[in-house]
Structure 1
Amino acid sequence: MSLESLDSSIREIIRDSYPQIQDVNPAQKAVLDAGLLDNPENYIIAIPTASGKTLLGVMAALRTILDGGKVVYAVPLLSIQNEKVKEFKKFEEHGIKVGKHPSSSDLAVMVFESYDALTRFSWNTLSEVDLLIVDEFHMIGEYSRGPTIECAITRSRMLNEGMRIIALSATLQNMEELSTWLAAQVVEHDYRPVPLFKDILNAEEFGTKNKNDVILSILKDSVDESSQAMVFVSTRRFTESLASYLAEKIKRNLPGDKKKAFQTVAEKILDVPRRRGSLPTEVCHKLAECAQNGMAFHHAGLFDQQKEIIEEEFRAGNLLMITATPSLMYGVNLPSKNVVIRD
């Protein structure tokens, strides 16, 4: 199945909302050929990161909505929820209401905990949901968040037997057990649009005992290649200290054509608390100083708008590197050529 062979109404919305997509890739084709849009069955879709799982979810959601149904798109984090709402808002040009709760929208993007609350306390609204799409489904195996979404799905199947479930994941271990639990058809594919190379770096190979200097070397290579990088560390404090360290080291080697853009990012960051009627905090000033040198740190202690600015400016190429806690790993799409796990 190709994009041209889709129902014309779905194809029109996809073309308008995602003009960069010319056709489906091999992984998406395999899922569509397995009957995603034609069969009423539950599905578990396990394909690699960046191979287009969201588009498959969107196609199924549009099919349900155009048939008069309601859809919940469940995600693990608020940052992903905000990103998806912003992405899906384009559908409103075609008369589809997009929001964060199914009582007021055709397509509701909800974090796992909000959907769990819906299954506990809003049974009438739950009964109106025709399709549940669970993004980052592999998080069902995490000890902290997994039980929440597992219980919510179980409750959904008991209270709304007609609800269809589509689970999207890049990695899954106990596939047979999960498919039996959901009574779902499994579609797996190994297509990856961007080759993935893994390596273990030893600080001594770089002539240093400081891991941060290894990251500095990667950052300098990224600057030379006009690419971007991300580094994951274990704590908020480490994101800030690493970003400050790298910003100080790289400031003499900044691309001349990017300095103005970096300054603009710094000003946007400081404007966030000012628009709220308060002065920028010490953390805000530290973040802005890093941004002036093309660096940014990202953690839950920042204002939501600041995190959105960092993500958007990184996508626009106006930041060289982000240092982040692991929360940024889940589902937020960022154009990083190099990803480093320091801790």
Structure 2
Amino acid sequence: MVPEDNNPESSLLRERAIAPDEFQLQSFAVIDGGSSVLVAAPTSSGKTLVAEYAIERTLATGKTVVYTTPIKALSNQKFKDLSKWLGKDQVGLLTGDNAIRPEANVVVMTTEVLRNMIYADSPALTDLGLVVLDEVHFLQDPYRGPVWEEVIMQLPSASRLVCLSATVSNAHEVAGWIQEVHGDCEAIIEMTRPVELHDHFLVFDKRHKRLQGFRTLRHGESNIEVERYLGKMSGQRSRGPQSRGGAVGRPRRSEVITHLDENDRLPAIFFVFSRQGCDDAVQSCLDYNVDFLDGREKARVEVIVEQHVSEISKEDLVLLNFERWLDGLRSGVAAHHAGMVTPFKEAVEDCFAAGLLKVVFATETLAMGVNLPARSVVIEQLSRFRGEGHVVLTPGEYKQLTGRAGRRGIDSTGHAYALWSPYESFDQLTQIAKSNDFVLESAFRPTYNMAANFM
């Protein structure tokens, strides 16, 4: 049962004047009961508050906390967020790049770092009371997923788990497995998205030289208007050389940006799936003289940038193509990917959070919980290169990407756009967009090294 006093002793809830949602209250009750919890809820619904509540409770008992994430970008953001809340002295960071206050009461790290600490029997884990596994659906990743399972299985039973994900449809099954291999665990599920999402499909009409937009789904099913339109247009010749698709073509980025701007659907994140593609997209915008900012906004950008690059030498800035990168920011466009140096990436994040960036071209790392919600998301293609070839996005990956669309408390509706392509069918898009099948499956494969560590 959920306590009727609504946790009056929680300074976190009192200071923020938060009225928790029902799924958050249920999660709080599980935590207060001493069990682990798996929270499956849409992006921006408030899963982080559950983790913060558990952190507050754990610190009150004199125990320590580890907050794990799948990527360094998310680790860096969580480090900043938790430091702002708890104070810098209370929070540390351990990634492949940084080791800041590793002895702190709350340490943010990638999951591999925690796995290595467990195998090394690190004394830093002696008083460990809580582990937060953010983006826990990552355990199905074929390359890194087994690390999550190793952590769950090898973690001392006295340490509770708070597992967070937006894309787990078999949460009760996963929670049952955690209970078998680690300890008591309950699944809390929230299905309602805090901001309504509209899926859109854009094509370029070659005959009339304009974009044609459609809703991807109608009443949860494929929009028959799109199928009729594509069928009609596929048999028609456009002016000029005949190409696949007949009289329809793939919209250009500049055309999509103009469409979003005219319909008041910026800021937007374009998912490109290639670091070089992100950088090239920014340059393309500059070539087309895209510029969203006035003089005062450009000055604010420069102030934010200076705060992040002040310690980088002029020589290094030249090597990093600083002026070209800054030209993009001054115009309201930027790239965001793992290949960027940390000061550049953090400057982009701060400019976006300040409302100074209207378009960001990003790889999928931006969908991994990094808190940069936009009004619209554009998925340029439904497939991406993984390992040995291109594979189509899973429904869970699509949901993760489109989860960035719609800012809670700002937008009444979020918008997710997909673009026509001669290599991907509209039916593929609708099957992905309408699916709620995000079954989390194990990627665990025993290895000799793993067996040796278990001994």
Q: Aligned residue for 1:327?
A: 365
Q: 1:175 to 1:255 in 2, by over 3 A?
A: same
1:273 equivalenced with 2:266 (yes/no): no
Q: Aligned residue for 1:311?
A: 349
Q: Aligned residue for 2:7?
A: 6
Q: Aligned residue for 1:340?
A: 378
Amino acid at match of 2:369: G
Contact 2:203 2:251 in 1 (8 A): no
Q: Give the CA RMSD over aligned residues.
A: 2.8
Separation in structure 2 between the aligned mates of residue 92 and residue 136 of structure 1, nearest angstrom: 22
Amino acid at match of 2:63: G
Q: Aligned residue for 1:145?
A: 144
Alignment equivalent of 2:72, drawn from 39, 60, 78: 78
Amino acid at match of 1:121: A
Task: Give aligned pairs, total.
Answer: 329
Q: 1:92 to 1:213 in 2, by over 3 A?
A: closer
What aligned pairs does 1:189-268 form with structure 2 within 5 A after superposition?
A: 189-204=190-205, 206=211, 209-221=250-262, 224=264, 227-251=266-290, 254-255=293-294, 257-264=296-303
Q: 1:264 to 1:61 in 2, by over 3 A?
A: closer
Separation in structure 1 between the aligned mates of residue 152 and residue 253 of structure 2, nearest angstrom: 42
Contact 2:301 2:351 in 1 (8 A): no
1:97 equivalenced with 2:90 (yes/no): yes
Q: Aligned residue for 1:298?
A: 336
Contact 2:83 2:91 in 1 (8 A): yes
- In the TM superposition, residue 339 of structure 1 has moved relative to its aligned partner by 0.8
Q: Aligned residue for 1:24?
A: 20
Separation in structure 1 between the aligned mates of residue 21 and residue 307 of structure 2, nearest angstrom: 37
1:162 equivalenced with 2:201 (yes/no): no
Q: 1:266 to 1:304 in 2, by over 3 A?
A: closer
Structure 2 alignment gaps of length 5 or more: 95-100, 180-184, 213-248, 382-455
- In the TM superposition, residue 38 of structure 1 has moved relative to its aligned partner by 1.7
What aligned pairs does 1:174-185 form with structure 2 within 5 A after superposition?
A: 174-183=170-179, 184-185=185-186
Separation in structure 2 between the aligned mates of residue 105 and residue 252 of structure 1, nearest angstrom: 44
Amino acid at match of 2:211: F
Higher strand fraction (1 or 2)? 2
Render the CA deviation track for 1:187-231: whole Å, top value 9, x for unaligned. Answer: 101232211222222233617644323432245337x56x41111
Render the CA deviation track for 1:222-275: whole Å, top value 9, x for unaligned. Answer: 7x56x4111110211110111121233353664565343345456667656327
Q: 1:241 to 1:268 in 2, by over 3 A?
A: farther
Separation in structure 2 between the aligned mates of residue 88 and residue 260 of structure 1, nearest angstrom: 29
Higher helix fraction (1 or 2)? 1
Q: SS where residue 336 of structure 1 aligns?
A: coil
Q: SS where residue 185 of structure 1 aligns?
A: strand
- The structure number with the bigger radius of gyration is 2
Render the CA deviation track for 1:156-210: whole Å, top value 9, x for unaligned. Answer: 1xxx121211111111144343122101211101232211222222233617644
Q: Aligned residue for 2:322?
A: 284
Separation in structure 1 between the aligned mates of residue 102 and residue 319 of structure 2, nearest angstrom: 38
Residue range with higher mean Cα deviation, 291-300 or 196-205? 196-205
Contact 2:292 2:358 in 1 (8 A): no
- In the TM superposition, residue 293 of structure 1 has moved relative to its aligned partner by 0.9
Q: Aligned residue for 2:130?
A: 131
Q: 1:206 to 1:3 in 2, by over 3 A?
A: farther
Separation in structure 2 between the aligned mates of residue 221 and residue 148 of structure 1, nearest angstrom: 46
TM-score between both structures, scaled by the size of structure 2: 0.66
Q: SS where residue 39 of structure 2 aligns?
A: strand
Residue range with higher mean Cα deviation, 252-261 or 112-121? 252-261
Render the CA deviation track for 1:66-87: whole Å, top value 9, x for unaligned. Answer: 0111111111111111111111
Q: Identity over the aligned pairs, expressed in percent?
A: 26
Contact 1:134 1:166 in 2 (8 A): yes
TM-score between both structures, scaled by the size of structure 1: 0.85
Separation in structure 1 between the aligned mates of residue 375 and residue 345 of structure 2, nearest angstrom: 20
Contact 1:232 1:342 in 2 (8 A): yes
Q: 1:152 to 1:299 in 2, by over 3 A?
A: same
Q: 1:79 to 1:282 in 2, by over 3 A?
A: closer
Contact 1:291 1:319 in 2 (8 A): yes
Contact 2:272 2:379 in 1 (8 A): yes
Render the CA deviation track for 1:56-115: whole Å, top value 9, x for unaligned. Answer: 10101110110111111111111111111111113445x972112696121111111111
Contact 2:37 2:161 in 1 (8 A): yes
Q: 1:103 to 1:203 in 2, by over 3 A?
A: same
- In the TM superposition, residue 299 of structure 1 has moved relative to its aligned partner by 1.5
Separation in structure 2 between the aligned mates of residue 269 and residue 210 of structure 1, nearest angstrom: 35
Q: SS where residue 36 of structure 1 aligns?
A: helix
Contact 1:27 1:190 in 2 (8 A): no
Contact 1:265 1:292 in 2 (8 A): no
